[in-house]
Structure 1
């Protein structure tokens, strides 16, 4: 079996374990009349930013925590926090502060019983291998399988949101960057 086939097998295995009810629960929290904030460290942060970009394309007001132009988060906003282990201290600290301020939390992690998983008003479990070696085992380095699977999972969530909100591909394309 080739490396490509092995990697695709791993991704397919993880994606087959995604609970679509968790995505529907997240869909109910993420609404156009809410500001959406994303948070993650390292590659998890890149996956969160990719999600933010796609949310912007389908008409959401969305910000990435840590960027210089990100406003303060307020009660009634939604925070999507991503951490494979669910134990990353910087993510937990900021998520806890937001939750205490009345922000709804969508946690994306490999373990529902992790500190981040327990903090989520909605938790999406993506059981791909993390850098700690937990989750579905992988031949890939560190948290690659988790990151790949989070990217696909959050893209599926965006597809669900775009269908619910009746946002076509042409409408999304109109908001895509034109300074490339």
Structure 2
């Protein structure tokens, strides 16, 4: 092996050449898409079981990613390693499943060995290859042509453009199925409960609000002094003010106390209703936490009461609670 020769200019030229070749391969794929894609998507939508994506080597990595994308976008799917399949893992395939076999050559013996067993189960097969005349292409129910005119590898050997094209074809199938199923943001969130979108779309006010004894509240007959004790005891910087039926008729905050002192001076003998903010904003427990965050932010609130449709106090939210839940 000769000593490598490189410079900043040659590295950039190489990178651009690679991207140009792969972009051209993707454009060529786009131009030759035909009814076989429609048939493949139809089989995927009709599948009553799971879509099993199988591959080996570099295309195995692509197959694994395709399976992951399908699973996260509403199409139950898993990856099956072709070499493991012929040594027992083919038992993971059921009669209601669909097999997507990914092999650029279309002649890998492991995949070809799987096909008869799949057919005996009545499993339909979609082949994704770069050779229309390959054994895998001929034996499949639907063949998707992912051929490339040139690999980005200067030796035209290492799978580069071909794996990019196969991956893009998998994305195209997944998105087509997603749209056909009407898969929306809330569905996506359920598949990604640990992500930011999942937290925003699956976390409700009831999940993070403070309730029971943690909610600061006093009766409307309470004095300002009693309200201050409740505020200090519960540590939310406010207390709800309730009528005899438990409805929140007001909220008394640190800011209300300061304004009351400015107006009255000595507040020791005053009732909490003298300084509370009436008709406080509240939110229902089934609302999304992110909606509470938007409401609190738009009205510059640090706290918000949680009440039912009749206005009866159920809980309370602090902006810190939303931050701790990573909703904001």
TM-score, scaled to structure 1: 0.83
Kindly indicate whether the alpha-carbon contact (under 8 Å) linking 2:126 and 2:141 is maintained by their aligned counterparts in 1: yes
Structure 2 distance, partners of 1:64, 1:118, is 23
1:120 Cα deviation from its structure 2 partner: 0.8
Gap regions ≥5 residues in structure 2:
1-12, 196-328
Structure 2 distance, partners of 1:47, 1:156, is 14
Quick check: 61-70 or 112-121, which moved more? 61-70
Q: Which has the larger radius of gyration?
A: 2
> Is the counterpart of residue 151 in structure 1 residue 167 in structure 2?
yes
1:33 Cα deviation from its structure 2 partner: 2.5
1:11 to 11, 25, 32: 25
1:72 Cα deviation from its structure 2 partner: 2.6
Structure 1 distance, partners of 2:74, 2:23, is 34
- Look up the SS of the partner of 2:54 in the other structure: strand
Gap regions ≥5 residues in structure 1:
129-135
2:69 to 54, 57, 65: 54
Cα pair distance change 1:145/1:76, threshold 3 Å? same
What's 1:114 paired with?
134
What's 1:34 paired with?
49
What's 1:133 paired with?
none
Kindly indicate whether the alpha-carbon contact (under 8 Å) linking 2:80 and 2:89 is maintained by their aligned counterparts in 1: no
- Look up the SS of the partner of 1:178 in the other structure: coil
1:1-180 equivalent positions in 2, closer than 5 A? 2-31=16-45, 33-66=48-81, 72-128=92-148, 136-140=149-153, 141-176=157-192, 178=194
Kindly indicate whether the alpha-carbon contact (under 8 Å) linking 1:14 and 1:126 is maintained by their aligned counterparts in 2: no
- Look up the SS of the partner of 1:171 in the other structure: helix
Kindly indicate whether the alpha-carbon contact (under 8 Å) linking 2:21 and 2:150 is maintained by their aligned counterparts in 1: no
